Chain A
Amino acid sequence: MEKKQRQILHIDVNNAFLSWTAIDRLEQGEKVDIREIEAVIGGDETKRSGIVLAKSMKAKAKGVHTAETLYQARIKCPNLQVFKGDYKSYRKHSNDLYKLLLQYTDKIERFSIDECFLDMTDFLGNSKLIDKAYEISRRVKNELGFTVNVGVAHNKLLAKMASDFTKPDKVHTLFEEEIPRKMWPLPVSELFMLGKKTIPKLQKMRIKTIGDLAKQDKNEMIKRFGKHGLMMWDYSNGIDNSEVNYIEEKPKGIGNSVTLPMDICDKEKLEEILLMLAEQVAYRLRRYDMYANVVNVQLRTKEFKDFSHQKKMLKANSNTKDIYATAKQLLEEMYKKRNFYTLSGIKSRQFG
């Protein structure tokens, strides 16, 4: 059987450190959005790590580069405002992004604090990769308050190259047939994983663009550069078979909940909704290749009192039928114990 074509996204936060600090400041009630002024995130000058970690577009326009000293940056840009980085906050924003992306696929590789690869191959259903890319881009912007670039391709290399095209807040595709037009005209230094020491050697061979590299003889490249030569040649031709390295995080429990409309109090309707929940929870459980021992049902009264019942199943399983049957018994117990009409208007609560 032919292997399914992979569907890969690369998500790259635009100006991550500066954007995240900007959001934190706005949340703390500051009026100025530091993304809109000449600003940088800088290391600690007293600890001799006073370099530019991230810059705003306006600072960039004045010629400020990442990794240069703050001293140099201030010469170019006298009104430059320097803000301190906050790694704890950056980690939180990075985790927020990761959590949002987990709603699209389980296969996520956190490539760095502000970059992720997503393998969407088995998670697309009948939607298109490009549409998911736009949806993610829009949701991150609306729900998390910062922008990302999304690279859309059939392998990691091309997705990564694509997300780097033009910034910010852009979705770019780089499919195989687009390689000659979109990737080959780029300078060879733009190619992923190309070391600084290699570039002068390539220039001596009159290789200036990625396209020049792609047209070299493959065996010649291997002869000259060994393994690295093969990798460079493959990359320049858009070949990359590496997998998205995701960490399988096995959950301790899986749950979901819904808000019930005020008027629901008959048992059959509740059972129907319970079945809907059971179907989804069991589905997720099976996706993890796990079995559950315990089923727990929660209800909230209109006085906002929560109560829950749980029960161990006869044997661990992941069947929708068994999980639903147990849940139904629990609902029955709760039904008997409480005055059921106090259960109307049960509010949702986030579980799992």
Chain B
Amino acid sequence: MGLRVDNLVEKNEIQLSFFTDEDDKKQEKVDKVVDQLKQKYGYGSITRAGNLHSSEIVKLKEL
């Protein structure tokens, strides 16, 4: 099984919409905190509750 994201754009090239979605902002904050922890303590140091056991089933290729 594979997952891929395409049609990538630079974050700062995105035009800000008039209505900034509060939920988007919140998600961005959550992700940012998780990313910082991953960078500081290693990729596997934090993960979502939903996939805690996935690493027992399949092995993810390294970054």
Interface residues of A (CB under 8 A from B): 103, 122-123, 125-127, 250-261, 264, 269-300, 308, 310, 312, 315-323, 327, 346, 348-349, 351-352
| CA A323 to CA B59, docked complex, whole Å | 21
Q: Could you tell me if A275 and B51 are in contact, using CB atoms closer than 8 angstroms?
A: yes
By beta carbon, the residue of chain A nearest B17 is: A315
Q: Could you tell me if B3 and A260 are in contact, using CB atoms closer than 8 angstroms?
A: no
Q: A317 and B58 in contact (CB under 8 A), knowing A298-B4, A351-B2? A: no
Q: Whole-angstrom distance from the CB of B44 to the nearest CB of chain A?
A: 9
Shortest beta-carbon contacts, A-B, top 8: A255-B4, A257-B2, A292-B5, A125-B42, A293-B7, A298-B2, A277-B3, A319-B27
Q: Whole-angstrom distance from the CB of A33 to the nearest CB of chain B?
A: 31
User: Which of B2, B10, B27, B41 is close to A256, meaning CB atoms less than 8 Å apart?
Assistant: B2
Which B10-63 residues have a C-beta within 8 angstroms of A? 10-12, 14, 17, 24, 27-28, 30-32, 34-35, 38-43, 45, 47-48, 50-51, 53-55, 57-63
Q: Could you tell me if B27 and A321 are in contact, using CB atoms closer than 8 angstroms?
A: yes
By beta carbon, the residue of chain A nearest B7 is: A293
Q: List 22 A-B contacts (CB under 8 A).
A: A125-B43, A250-B8, A256-B60, A260-B57, A261-B58, A269-B57, A276-B51, A276-B54, A277-B3, A278-B3, A281-B4, A283-B35, A284-B63, A291-B10, A295-B6, A296-B4, A310-B6, A315-B17, A317-B27, A319-B27, A320-B27, A348-B2
| CA A250 to CA B13, docked complex, whole Å | 14
The CB with the most chain A CB atoms within 10 A, among B28, B59, B61, is that of B61
Q: How many interface residues does chain B have, given as a range?
A: 35 or more
Q: A103 and B62 in contact (CB under 8 A), knowing A253-B6, A291-B8? A: yes
Q: Could you tell me if A296 and B5 are in contact, using CB atoms closer than 8 angstroms?
A: yes
Q: Whole-angstrom distance from the CB of A120 to the nearest CB of chain B?
A: 12
Q: Could you tell me if A257 and B1 are in contact, using CB atoms closer than 8 angstroms?
A: yes
Q: Could you tell me if B9 and A316 are in contact, using CB atoms closer than 8 angstroms?
A: yes
Q: Whole-angstrom distance from the CB of A274 to the nearest CB of chain B?
A: 6
| CA A295 to CA B24, docked complex, whole Å | 17
Q: A125 and B6 in contact (CB under 8 A), knowing A103-B62, A279-B47, A318-B11? A: no
Q: Could you tell me if B50 and A277 are in contact, using CB atoms closer than 8 angstroms?
A: no
Q: Could you tell me if A298 and B1 are in contact, using CB atoms closer than 8 angstroms?
A: yes
Q: Could you tell me if B5 and A255 are in contact, using CB atoms closer than 8 angstroms?
A: yes
Q: Could you tell me if A280 and B9 are in contact, using CB atoms closer than 8 angstroms?
A: no
Q: Whole-angstrom distance from the CB of B37 to the nearest CB of chain A?
A: 10
Q: A277 and B1 in contact (CB under 8 A), knowing A264-B57, A320-B31? A: yes
Q: Could you tell me if B8 and A292 are in contact, using CB atoms closer than 8 angstroms?
A: yes
User: Which of A250, A276, A312, A315 is close to B60, meaning CB atoms less than 8 Å apart?
Assistant: A276
Contacts of A123 in B (CB 8 A): 39
Contacts of B17 in A (CB 8 A): 315
Contacts of A293 in B (CB 8 A): 6-9
Q: Whole-angstrom distance from the CB of A211 to the nearest CB of chain B?
A: 38
Apart from A281-B4, A292-B5: 12 A-B pairs, beta carbons within 8 A: A103-B62, A125-B43, A256-B60, A274-B1, A275-B54, A291-B11, A293-B7, A294-B6, A298-B1, A310-B6, A319-B24, A320-B34
Q: A319 and B31 in contact (CB under 8 A), knowing A275-B50, A277-B3? A: yes
Contacts of B11 in A (CB 8 A): 289-291, 318
Q: Could you tell me if A126 and B42 are in contact, using CB atoms closer than 8 angstroms?
A: yes
By beta carbon, the residue of chain B nearest A334 is: B1
Q: Could you tell me if B1 and A291 are in contact, using CB atoms closer than 8 angstroms?
A: no
Q: Whole-angstrom distance from the CB of A340 to the nearest CB of chain B?
A: 12
Q: Could you tell me if A294 and B5 are in contact, using CB atoms closer than 8 angstroms?
A: yes
Q: Whole-angstrom distance from the CB of B63 to the nearest CB of chain A?
A: 7
